[in-house]
């Protein structure tokens, strides 16, 4: 009976969290560390490893990120108005490092798809800042990622990615379960933190409230009503949390969230989230000229070299980088284990743009985010180093191979994940000659070309999946964060079903699609 | 359906604390009390402890909306139970007097009267929260001054005299500047007054002002519900105009006009006693805002083009049937060509209602003939050249699932001759006839059981609680309460003539056991909009009884809730609604609308911003932090001592901390009952008796009554209210 222990312990933790809620935060914090340890197996929260996630909401157009330039069906007829020009085909045959054009007249002046160096794929030039991490072997680009019976509804599919349970009504988050399984929540009220407008499903669950902060510079009370009455209000709220009322549908959620508020209010006080604290800069001349660019572009002056030509991201990107910076600072300066944020705007049905335009702008943010996070954690490591961090992106699905009548793309199937970190097995590591997976001819499930190839593998219209997103997240949760396989079977229930082939290659019993299983990301 | 009154009346919970041994070793017995959400809540569980061998203490678990706890005792079970006057209650504990003889104990709970409980539920769900004057009126429980009568009244808003326009001058000011569909766009930013000069920020302010002041509260709640259900994104309209080169005031004003056109047309439907869902859906389908938002305006089905699927998908998934509820990808693909040709165009004013009109040729005075110099009305326009003329079959061979049961499975749908088949066949149409495709689709959708189900579910989530879903088996004899209510709503929809009227569906919900019973109260959490508006309303009483502008103990100019101090909704200086949950009204970028469920809004960051808003709202004008980095917050005004002086006129009472607390507690938490609020009363009294440090005692009784902002007394009362309105129970509705 291999699950007895897991279930019992998990149940115990949930119950103890509930009990803690009733008793107040003091009781929550007083769970002795040894008790947590005795309860938990695995190393989540103990091995110093952390995770940062970025959800790309709206469904990123994977075929406009990592371009299958050697697919004979990938032509400008397929995408006439959003086409990314290419060099001569032979240019992309050369194997090796990813092209990283710098010192141009403007940051994104390069007008052709970049050579990734796997002999097959190209990279949208707005993603050029992925190249340094990629060439260091610290970034993987995993194409053709999806799940069985892919939903093309944003809201369902986002929920499936976030719950780790495709086509299930569950809205309990995969990272919520990761932290509940770990046992760290009992002693660490900020084990999971999101920085966005509201707590994402990925962190939601009924047994504990994880922390969401919409604006870290304002995570403080305002007083009752004189400013020096902060304590009066926070003490009153803390006391009133003890008040017992009859149960109603939302009261457990409110109680847990108020407890979370009371216990986290002081934890961030030592971190400077303001603009004055945004002083993190590159250690080398970054691109144009000799300037060491600011890592977190939150103002025009901190965007590249501060000139329009030198901007590394579009000017609409600043609030995202505020949030990304906060997530990075929290991981680096507190005991948070998983932190994340989101970026919207990827639902590019209309005027998606080509070399420039809406989607190019969004991608510049992804490229620079990866560049900046790597440098930030390499140069400023405190509670976590780049080697102990994994950054993952999630997005609900990919977009149609062919453009629609509005110079945009519609909802489709498989998409693309980026995974980065000092310990990631990228280009040049673990015998890999490329950091692109599933977009080449030498992958275990090769990209098939032509009008009946991979780009049209589902319903004659959509990119067919090769790797399940759960296999990527599952491997990160086990191999990086330190879950045992036993824990992982609870965190991602699909792992417990060998027919799903999340771990090893095979044919999915759900929809008879050949999948890779885990792809050795870390 | 006949209203049910299922509130427990005075509940003698009949809990015996039975003495078995003379030493005071007692065992507990409780009589079985059936406990579900419709009938009576479970009785409290009692626990007895000895303070000393001669003094007993009984603690008990909470009971919802308990108004009074009474401890009865009897020394001999054969005797009569009598109130035990020797002990005292504190929160959920009763402590007997010292040296009492051994007795049997019995706890009696008097719950809140049913009209009082329904008042709290109705004002929180059919409206944006209680106001002191509405509480005073409905709690009379006599004639039209009762909760049930108010619900009936709200269901017929056209019968209610609307006085909101008197309550704040901004309402008339903004309304007077909204554009009309037949008036040419005012594109010059040099013109700032008159019709057609509002921006979306004005519309946001108007909406919250109406929420605060309107007598037709349900109309306001439904307006926001429909606006959020058939959601559009004003920002995308603005981008549309920028994209085609229209500048100056057009990108600010035209999107507002589009949103207002939707809202004003929807309100006409809501004011119509027989208004249907089809009427609402048609307005949405014809709205330029929707045509732009979900990309229909540029979708082409003519040769060589792939139609855009965006609108077809969301029309079924979000606006009518509900996700994966009776359709699949092939239906989306098959429907998309039908909408091609529906676009927007700038036409002559006289053609505002003619979808086949040509683009206007009238130019702005002295300007060249460029598109951006044309003058006219932006409106729905059908371009037959873009349309896919071929025949279309949607839902081919699809039958209504058995779970809907009769009459749905044996009904004939549209032109089908087989019962239960809901295939929609659209013939090949040419020229302007092609526009009929779209109308065929919405008429078909508005009649499908899936749509009835999904809309009923969404209304139940809005008015009852969050845990309703599509997919119930309505033929199941053990169908749960939620499924039964949805089924009843669908029957009301199906049974009305013309079909699909909203009022019978709403009446079904408001008369249901789930809504009216004890368990209906306080099951939901306020959205950011509901939270902010309800906070202003909670203290909103006219200080001279006139209800006129300037006479309120609590008010806002509207912009104080919705506008960022930078003009646009930017970070840092953002509006309360943005800070609490990125609730940018009329500007939701995702087509699912703002969520209704508590789990989408409740997290530490949002709760901090809610508390900050309350702190700012309750600060007196000029007190430090009042503006909280956004000067518009200075326009949210509260005068709690003025309110107190009206409701507690005896000067001696005004320095009695308990009496002051008991003046405000029923205004803020009218559904809880006095006894259930004991712990909050303690918090309030402690707050009044403590100085600003929160640690030093400073007796409230020795303060000098003053309503002047910054005086110690005024600050103390404001602090107490800040605390109460920052607590968990004020998040609920």
pLDDT tens figures, B606-641: 999 999 999 999 999 999 999 999 999 999 999 999
Report CB contact under 8 Å: A213, B605. Answer: yes
The residue among B516, B544, B572 that closes a domain is B516
Residue in chain B lying closest to A254 (CA): B728
Domain shared by B227 and B370, yes or no: yes
With a CB-CB cutoff of 8 Å, which residues 205-244 of chain A face chain B? 209-215, 217-229, 231-233, 235-237, 239-244
Domain shared by B509 and B644, yes or no: no
Report CB contact under 8 Å: A405, B329. Answer: no
pLDDT in tens, B595-611: 999 999 999 999 999 99
The beta-carbon neighbor of B692 closest among A154, A171, A229 is A229
Domain shared by B493 and B582, yes or no: no
The beta-carbon neighbor of A229 closest among B64, B310, B694 is B694
Burial of B725 from C-beta contacts in 10 A (0-12 / 13-18 / 19+):
buried
Residue B154 pLDDT > 80, yes or no?
Answer: yes
Residues A514, A444: contact at Cβ < 8 Å?
no
Q: What is the pLDDT of residue B590?
A: 87
Cα B210 to chain centroid distance, Å, stands at: 13
Report CB contact under 8 Å: A246, B676. Answer: yes
DSSP string, B233-281: BHHHHHHHHHHTT--TTHHHHHHHHHHHHHHHHHHHHHHSTT-BHHHHH
The beta-carbon neighbor of A350 closest among B295, B300, B732 is B295
Partners of A349 on chain B (C-beta within 8 Å) are: 294-295, 308, 310
Average pLDDT over chain B, rounded to an integer? 91
Asked whether residue B505 is assigned to any structural domain, the reply reads: yes
Helix (H/G/I), strand (E/B), else coil: B473 = coil
Under the phi-then-psi rule, with left for phi > 0, alpha for psi from -120 to 50, and beta for the rest, what region is B629? left
Partners of B611 on chain A (C-beta within 8 Å) are: 221-222, 233, 237
Report CB contact under 8 Å: A218, B608. Answer: yes
Pairing between strand A50-56 and A338-343? parallel
Pairing between strand A338-343 and A66-67? unpaired
Nearest Cα of chain A lies from the Cα of B202 at a distance, in angstroms, of 23
CA distance B169 to B288: 30
Domain shared by B665 and B539, yes or no: yes
Report CB contact under 8 Å: B581, A403. Answer: no
Taking 70 as the pLDDT cut, the residues of chain A under it are 1-40, 225, 227-229
Q: What is the pLDDT of residue B40?
A: 66
Q: What is the pLDDT of residue B28?
A: 32
| B145: DSSP letter | B
Q: What is the pLDDT of residue A12?
A: 36
With a CB-CB cutoff of 8 Å, which residues 76-115 of chain A face chain B? none
Asked whether residue B58 is assigned to any structural domain, the reply reads: yes
With a CB-CB cutoff of 8 Å, which residues 312-341 of chain A face chain B? 319, 322
Q: What is the pLDDT of residue A230?
A: 77
Residue in chain A lying closest to B684 (CA): A236
CATH number at residue B98: 2.60.40
Closest by Cα among B524, B525, B528 to B465: B524
Report CB contact under 8 Å: A198, B601. Answer: yes
* Strand ordering across the sheet containing B82-83: B26-30, B11-19, B104-111, B66-74, B82-83
Domain shared by B223 and B106, yes or no: no
For residue A228, CA distances in Å to A233, B392, B593, B624, B633 come to 10, 69, 39, 10, 20
Residue in chain A lying closest to B63 (CA): A246
- Domain count for chain B: 4
| Contacts with B416 (C-beta within 8 Å, 6 or more apart), sequence order | B422, B423
Closest by Cα among A87, A129, A53, A51 to A363: A129
The beta-carbon neighbor of A249 closest among B301, B313, B467 is B467
pLDDT in tens, B9-18: 444 444 444 3
Nearest Cα of chain B lies from the Cα of A366 at a distance, in angstroms, of 20
Nearest Cα of chain A lies from the Cα of B391 at a distance, in angstroms, of 20
| Contacts with B522 (C-beta within 8 Å, 6 or more apart), sequence order | A248, B64, B120, B121, B124, B671, B672, B729, B732, B733
Partners of B615 on chain A (C-beta within 8 Å) are: 221-225, 233
pLDDT in tens, B556-592: 999 999 998 865 555 568 999 999 998 999 999 889 9
Report CB contact under 8 Å: B603, A257. Answer: yes
pLDDT in tens, B119-131: 999 999 999 999 9
Pairing between strand A192-194 and A211-212? parallel
Q: What is the mean pLDDT of residues B718-728?
A: 97
Q: What is the pLDDT of residue B75?
A: 86
User: In this structure, what token pair is assigned to residue A456?
Assistant: 């049209």
Report CB contact under 8 Å: A403, B615. Answer: no
Asked whether residue B642 is assigned to any structural domain, the reply reads: yes
pLDDT in tens, B70-107: 999 888 888 899 999 889 999 899 999 887 777 888 99
Domain shared by B538 and B477, yes or no: no
| A286: DSSP letter | -
Question: Is A245 near chain B, with CB under 8 Å?
Answer: yes
Partners of A232 on chain B (C-beta within 8 Å) are: 687, 690, 692-694, 719, 723
Partners of B608 on chain A (C-beta within 8 Å) are: 213, 218-221, 261, 265
Domain shared by B256 and B186, yes or no: yes
For residue B207, CA distances in Å to B212, B263, B442, B584 come to 9, 10, 28, 12
Count of other CB atoms within 10 angstroms of residue B412: 12
State pTM to two decimals. Answer: 0.88
Domain shared by B541 and B512, yes or no: no
Partners of A330 on chain B (C-beta within 8 Å) are: none
Report CB contact under 8 Å: A153, B323. Answer: yes
Asked whether residue B216 is assigned to any structural domain, the reply reads: yes
Q: What is the pLDDT of residue A228?
A: 65
Please say whether the dihedral angle defined by the alpha carbons of residues B75, B80, B84 and B85, taken in this order, is positive or negative. Answer: negative
Residue in chain A lying closest to B692 (CA): A229
Q: What is the pLDDT of residue A27?
A: 32
Domain shared by B203 and B64, yes or no: no
Report CB contact under 8 Å: A155, B323. Answer: yes
Q: Which residue has the higher pLDDT, A27 or B357?
A: B357
Report CB contact under 8 Å: B307, A405. Answer: yes
Supply φ then ψ for residue B723, to 5 degrees.
Answer: -65, -50
Residue B404 pLDDT > 50, yes or no?
Answer: yes
Nearest Cα of chain A lies from the Cα of B643 at a distance, in angstroms, of 18
Domain shared by B533 and B622, yes or no: yes
Q: Which residue has the higher pLDDT, B699 or A207?
A: B699
pLDDT band at B35 (very low <50, low <70, confident <90, very high): very low
Picking from A157, A158, A209, A250 by the largest number of B CB atoms within 10 A of its own CB, the best residue to mutate is: A250
Domain shared by B703 and B572, yes or no: yes
Report CB contact under 8 Å: B603, A244. Answer: no
pLDDT band at B552 (very low <50, low <70, confident <90, very high): very high
Whole domain around residue B91: which residue ranges? Answer: 11-111
Domain shared by B620 and B536, yes or no: yes
């Amino acid at each position: 009976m291999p699950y007895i222990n897991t279930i019992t312990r998990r149940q115990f933790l949930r119950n103890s969290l509930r009990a803690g809620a009733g008793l107040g935060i003091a009781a929550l914090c007083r769970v002795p560390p040894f008790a947590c340890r005795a309860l938990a197996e695995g190393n989540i929260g103990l091995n110093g490893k952390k995770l940062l996630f970025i959800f790309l909401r709206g469904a990123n157009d994977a075929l406009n990120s990592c371009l299958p330039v050697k697919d004979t069906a990938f032509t400008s007829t397929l995408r006439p108005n959003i086409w990314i020009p290419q060099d001569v085909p032979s240019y992309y045959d050369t194997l090796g490092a990813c092209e990283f054009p710098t010192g141009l007249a403007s940051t994104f002046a390069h007008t052709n798809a970049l050579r990734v160096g796997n002999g097959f794929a190209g990279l949208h030039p707005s993603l050029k800042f992925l190249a340094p991490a990629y060439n260091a072997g610290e970034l993987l680009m995993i194409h053709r990622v999806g799940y069985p019976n892919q939903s093309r509804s944003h809201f369902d599919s986002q929920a499936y990615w976030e719950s780790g349970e495709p086509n299930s009504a569950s809205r309990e988050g995969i990272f919520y379960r990761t932290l509940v399984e770990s046992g760290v929540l009992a002693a660490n009220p900020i084990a999971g933190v999101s920085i966005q407008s509201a707590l994402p499903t990925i962190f939601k669950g009924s047994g504990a409230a994880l922390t969401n902060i919409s604006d870290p510079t304002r995570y403080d009370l305002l007083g009752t009503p004189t400013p020096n009455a902060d304590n009066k209000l926070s003490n009153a709220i803390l006391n009133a949390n003890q008040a017992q009322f009859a149960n109603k549908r939302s009261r457990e959620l409110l109680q847990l969230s108020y407890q979370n508020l009371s216990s986290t209010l002081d934890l961030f006080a030592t971190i400077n989230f303001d603009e004055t604290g945004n002083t993190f800069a590159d250690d080398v001349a970054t691109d144009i000229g000799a300037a060491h660019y600011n890592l977190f572009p939150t103002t025009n002056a901190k965007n590249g070299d501060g000139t329009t030509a030198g901007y590394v991201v579009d000017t609409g990107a600043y609030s995202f980088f505020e949030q990304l910076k906060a997530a990075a600072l929290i991981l680096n300066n507190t005991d948070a284990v998983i932190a994340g944020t989101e970026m919207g705007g990827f639902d590019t049905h209309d005027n998606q743009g080509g070399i420039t335009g809406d989607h190019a702008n969004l991608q510049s943010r992804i490229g620079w985010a990866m560049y900046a996070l790597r440098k930030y954690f390499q140069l400023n490591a405190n509670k976590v180093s780049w080697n102990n961090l994994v950054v993952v992106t999630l997005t609900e699905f990919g977009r149609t191979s062919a453009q629609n009548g509005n110079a945009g793309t519609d909802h489709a199937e498989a998409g693309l994940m980026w995974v980065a970190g000092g310990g990631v097995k990228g280009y040049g590591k673990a015998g890999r000659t490329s950091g692109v997976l599933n977009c080449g001819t030498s992958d275990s499930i090769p990209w098939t070309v032509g009008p009946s190839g991979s780009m049209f593998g589902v319903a004659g219209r959509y990119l067919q999946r090769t790797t399940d997103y759960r296999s990527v997240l599952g491997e990160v949760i086990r191999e990086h964060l330190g879950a045992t396989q036993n824990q992982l079977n609870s965190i991602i229930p699909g792992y417990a079903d060998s027919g799903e082939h999340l771990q090893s290659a095979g044919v999915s019993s759900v929809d008879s699609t050949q999948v890779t299983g885990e792809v050795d990301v870390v | 359906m006949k209203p049910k009154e299922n509130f427990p009346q005075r509940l003698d919970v009949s809990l015996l604390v039975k003495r078995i041994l003379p030493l005071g070793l007692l065992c507990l017995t409780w009589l079985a009390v059936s406990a579900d959400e419709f009938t009576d809540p479970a009785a409290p569980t009692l626990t007895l402890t000895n303070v000393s061998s001669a003094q007993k203490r009984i603690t008990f678990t909470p009971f919802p909306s308990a108004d009074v706890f009474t401890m009865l005792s009897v020394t001999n079970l054969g005797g009569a139970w009598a109130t035990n006057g020797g002990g005292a209650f504190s929160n959920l504990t009763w402590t007997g007097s010292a040296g009492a003889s051994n007795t049997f104990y019995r706890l009696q709970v008097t719950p809140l009267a049913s009209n009082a409980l329904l008042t709290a539920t109705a004002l929180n769900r059919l409206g944006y929260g209680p106001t002191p004057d509405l509480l005073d009126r409905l709690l009379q429980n006599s004639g039209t001054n009762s909760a049930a009568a108010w619900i009936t009244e709200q269901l017929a808003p056209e019968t209610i005299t609307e006085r909101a326009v008197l309550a704040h001058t901004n309402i008339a000011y903004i309304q007077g500047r909204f554009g009309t569909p037949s008036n040419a766009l005012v594109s010059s930013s040099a013109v700032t007054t008159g019709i057609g000069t509002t921006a979306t920020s004005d519309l946001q302010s108007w909406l919250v002002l109406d929420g605060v002041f309107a007598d037709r509260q349900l109309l306001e709640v439904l307006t926001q519900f429909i606006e959020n259900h058939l959601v559009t994104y004003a920002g995308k309209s603005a981008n549309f105009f920028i994209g085609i080169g229209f500048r100056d005031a057009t990108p600010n004003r035209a999107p507002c006009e589009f949103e207002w056109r939707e809202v004003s047309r929807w309100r006409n439907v809501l004011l119509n006693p027989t208004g249907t869902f089809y009427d609402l859906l048609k307005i949405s389908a014809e709205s330029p805002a929707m045509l732009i938002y979900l990309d229909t305006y540029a979708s082409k089905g003519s040769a060589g083009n792939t139609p855009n699927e965006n609108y077809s998908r969301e029309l079924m998934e979000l606006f009518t049937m509900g996700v994966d509820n009776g359709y699949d990808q092939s239906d989306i693909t098959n429907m998309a060509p039908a909408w091609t040709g529906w676009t927007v165009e700038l036409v002559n004013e006289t053609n505002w209602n003619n979808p086949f009109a040509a683009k206007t040729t009238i130019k702005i005075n002295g300007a060249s003939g460029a598109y951006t110099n044309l003058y006219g009305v932006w409106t729905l326009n059908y371009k037959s050249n873009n349309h896919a003329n071929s025949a279309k079959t949607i839902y081919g061979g699809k039958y209504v699932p058995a779970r809907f049961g009769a009459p749905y499975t044996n009904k004939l749908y549209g032109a089908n001759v087989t019962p239960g088949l809901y295939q929609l066949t659209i013939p090949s149409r040419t020229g302007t006839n092609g526009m009929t495709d779209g109308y065929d689709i919405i008429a078909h959708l508005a009649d499908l059981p899936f749509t009835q189900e999904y809309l009923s579910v969404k209304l139940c989530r809005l008015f009852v609680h969050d845990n309703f879903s599509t997919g119930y088996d309505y033929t199941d004899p053990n169908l749960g309460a939620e499924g039964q209510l949805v089924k009843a709503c669908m029957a009301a929809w199906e049974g009305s003539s013309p079909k699909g009227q909203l009022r019978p569906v709403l009446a079904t919900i408001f008369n249901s056991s789930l809504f009216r019973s004890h368990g209906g109260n306080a099951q939901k959490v306020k959205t950011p909009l509901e939270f902010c508006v309800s906070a202003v309303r909670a203290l909103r009483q006219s200080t001279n009884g006139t209800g006129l502008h300037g006479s309120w103990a609590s008010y806002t100019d509207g912009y104080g809730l919705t506008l960022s101090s930078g003009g646009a909704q930017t970070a840092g200086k953002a509006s309360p609604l943005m800070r609490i949950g990125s609730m940018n009204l009329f500007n939701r970028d995702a087509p699912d609308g703002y969520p209704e469920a508590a789990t989408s809004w409740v997290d530490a960051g949002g709760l901090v911003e809610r508390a900050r808003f309350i702190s700012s709202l309750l600060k007196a004008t000029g007190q430090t932090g009042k503006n909280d980095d956004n000067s518009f917050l200075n326009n949210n005004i509260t005068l709690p001592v003025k309110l107190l002086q009206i409701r507690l006129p005896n000067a001696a009472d005004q320095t009695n901390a308990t009496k002051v607390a008991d003046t405000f507690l029923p205004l803020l938490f009218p559904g809880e009952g006095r006894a259930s609020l004991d712990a909050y009363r303690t918090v309030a009294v402690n707050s009044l008796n403590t100085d600003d440090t929160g640690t030093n005692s400073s007796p409230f009784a020795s303060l000098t009554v003053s309503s002047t902002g910054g005086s110690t007394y005024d600050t103390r009362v404001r602090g107490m209210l800040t605390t109460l309105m920052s607590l968990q129970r004020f998040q609920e509705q």
